[in-house]
Amino acid sequence: MIMQEQIKDASYDVLVIGGGIAGGEAALNLANNGFKVLIVEKDLSIGGKMILLSKVFPTLDCSACITTPKVSEISRHPAITIFTGSEVKKIVKIAENSFEADVLRYPRYVIAEECTGCQLCEQACPVIVKDEYQFNLVGRKAAFIPFTIASPKVAAIDIENCTLCGACEKVCPPKCIDFTQEKEEYRIKVKSVIIATGFKLFDPLLMPRYGFGLYKNIITSMQMERQLAPTRPFNTILRPGDGKVPCKVAYVLCTGSRDATIGNPVCSQICCMYSIKQAQLLMGALPMADVTIYYLNIRSFGKGFEEFYEQAKGMGVNFIKGKIGKISELENGNLKLRYEDINENKVKESEHDIVVLSVGVIANLDTATFFSEQQLKLDSFNFINQTDPLASPARTSINGVFVAGTASGPMDIPDSILSAGSASSEAMCYLIQKK
């Protein structure tokens, strides 16, 4: 129970919820134009999904190299305050240009200002758990730095798994591990709010016919993404079942998208492209590998995308227009795909040694919890409803609350960045005009 007097007050011009690329970009735009911003990020690091990606389509530039300079600019900016490991509990709109948000900061059990990121605590910690930042491909310690390019790059103690053995405390040179930290509650006054809470990945356990979770050599595209990233868990591409380097890779597109039977009729807009990207990177990393992409339609619609698709075909990636019926496992751990080959109008089977499910973009339902007194409308797919999508795409059903990035629907990085520009621009007008 937190006492009323422990609640800390603070005020900013704009509250940005979510520190992914969209939230970060919006915050920078505002701060560079002289507004004070608070970013509330649920995770231990800002950067969202993008900071964890390998290279990005369609230019194939390294995602970390684009994200890290942005992230460090955000964290260094004098007009931006960042709360990581924090959540917005409730926002109330009191009047135009006046919102009150209750924010909860969870303890990290490390004095962030003093931690030097030396990783000694990590080495000392005896507890090993699954590493969520590597999408469970490998393990991490209970005292850990989320990932090498995390921002802030400081340790945290995963208190749920920590055995309180104190090993980390002993080795920490600046003595910054502090098990006495407690939750802190803030009451934040702001004039405008930008929601940039991003998206969730479709959970393929909801499609049992694909056998994800049952068969070890079926992974999600995000797990493959990690294997291809510069901060990758292994030094090469491995299939999780037996650590073998795969040579026949299958991609199953539209997993969890364009399918009303699983409740998501819309196209996720990014999975065709990221699969084509991964296929190209795989051909580079494993020159002997065969990569086959099973698709319904290839949606390479953006600037340079069609050319990128053609490039993949030119490199020898196989594209099969086909619907996957069922996936089953063979004795050697390989997988048998039963599919309808649409070009040939036949049901066929094929064998692969690893299957990547190109999982879709699902709405992040956290957005439904922010407002209790005003209604923040969602659309029929549970993304934030854009009340004037053609003329003012960042507007929501609450005046003064704007949406940036994939919180309003599937989008790739370039579109997320433009959407963030749009949201920050509208917020600036709202602040200046006081309307």
Partner 1 sequence: MVDTGKKNARILVFSTEKISDPAIDMAGLLKLHYPPTIYAISIPCSSGVKPKWILHAFEKGFAGVFIAADGSDCPYGESCTEKTGKIVSTTHELMKQKNIEPARLRMAAICSVCSESFVKQMKSFNENLLKMQGA
Partner 2 sequence: MNNKLGVYICHCGGNISDYIDVEKVRQSVENEEGVFLAKTTMFACGDSNQKEMVEDIKNNHLDGVVVASCSPKLHLLTFRAVTERGELNKYNYVHANIREQASWAHSDDKAGATEKAIHIVKAAIAKVRFAESLVPIKISSIKSVAVIGGGVAGMKAAIELSDLGCQVYLIEREYFVGGRVSQWDSLFTTNETGKELVTRLYNDLVKQKNITVYTGAEVISNSGNIGDFKLKIKITPRYIKAKCNQGELQNAIDVCPVEVPDDFNFNITGRKAIYHNFPSEYPQSPVIDIKNCTRCGACEKICENVDFTQKEEIMDINVGSVLMATGFDPYTPADGEFGYNSFDNVITLPQFKRIIDLSNEKLTFKGREIKNIAYIYCVGSRQVEGENKYCSRYCCTSAIHAAIIAKKKFLNIYNFHFTRGIRTYGKQEVLYDESSRMGDIYLQSYENDPPVVTGRNDKAVVRINDILTGKREMEVEADLVVLVTGMVPRKDNSVGSLFKLPKGRDRFFNEIHMKLRPVETVIDGITISGACQGPKNIMETANSALSAAAKSYSYVSKGELELEPIIARIDKDLCTWCNACAQACPFNAIEMEEGKTKNVASINNSACKGCGMCLPVCPTDAINLIAYSNNEIESMIDALAG
DSSP-derived pairing of the beta strands 318-329 and 290-295: parallel
242 binds partner 1 (CB under 8 A): no
Burial 86-109 (b: 16+ CB within 10 A, else e): bbbeebebeeebebbbebbbbbbb
Stretch that binds partner 1, among 27-35, 59-67, 93-101, 168-176 (CB under 8 A): 59-67
Q: For residues 38 and 192, what is the distance between their CA atoms, to the nearest angstrom? A: 11
Stretch that binds ligand SF4, among 75-83, 232-240, 285-293, 295-303 (CB under 6 A): 295-303
Taking CB under 8 A as the criterion, the residue among 13, 24, 53, 55 binding partner 1 is 55
Q: Which two tokens stand for residue 77?
A: 């900016």
Restricting to residues 373-402, name those near partner 2 by CB under 8 A.
Answer: 379, 381, 386, 389-394
Listed in sequence order, the DSSP H helices in 156-219 are 167-171
102 binds ligand FAD (CB under 6 A): no
Restricting to residues 156-185, name those near partner 2 by CB under 8 A.
Answer: 173-174
Q: Please report, to the nearest 10 degrees, the dihedral formed by the alpha carbons of residues 323, 329, 330, 336 taken in order.
A: 0
The site string for ligand FAD over 397-426 (x = CB under 6 A, - otherwise) reads --------xx----xxxx-x----------
Of 366, 398, 361, nearest to 381 (Cα)? 361
105 binds ligand FAD (CB under 6 A): no
The site string for ligand FAD over 184-223 (x = CB under 6 A, - otherwise) reads ------------xxxx-x-------------------xx-
Listed in sequence order, the DSSP H helices in 10-165 are 21-32, 63-76, 120-124
Answer left, alpha or beta for residue 73, where phi above 0 means left and psi between -120 and 50 means alpha.
alpha
Residue 230, binding choice from partner 1, partner 2, ligand FAD, none, Cβ under 5 to 8 Å by partner class: partner 1
Q: For residues 433 and 399, what is the distance between their CA atoms, to the nearest angstrom? A: 13
How many other C-beta atoms lie within 10 A of the C-beta of residue 173? 11
200 binds ligand SF4 (CB under 6 A): no
DSSP-derived pairing of the beta strands 290-295 and 248-255: parallel
Which residues are near ligand FAD by CB under 6 A?
A: 17-23, 40-43, 48-50, 53, 56-57, 87-88, 196-199, 201, 221-222, 225, 270, 274, 277, 364, 366, 405-406, 411-414, 416
Which residues are near partner 1 by CB under 8 A?
A: 55, 60-62, 65, 230
Which residues are near ligand SF4 by CB under 6 A?
A: 110, 115-121, 154-155, 171-174, 176-177, 253-254, 257-258, 267-269, 271-272, 296-297, 299, 301, 358, 360
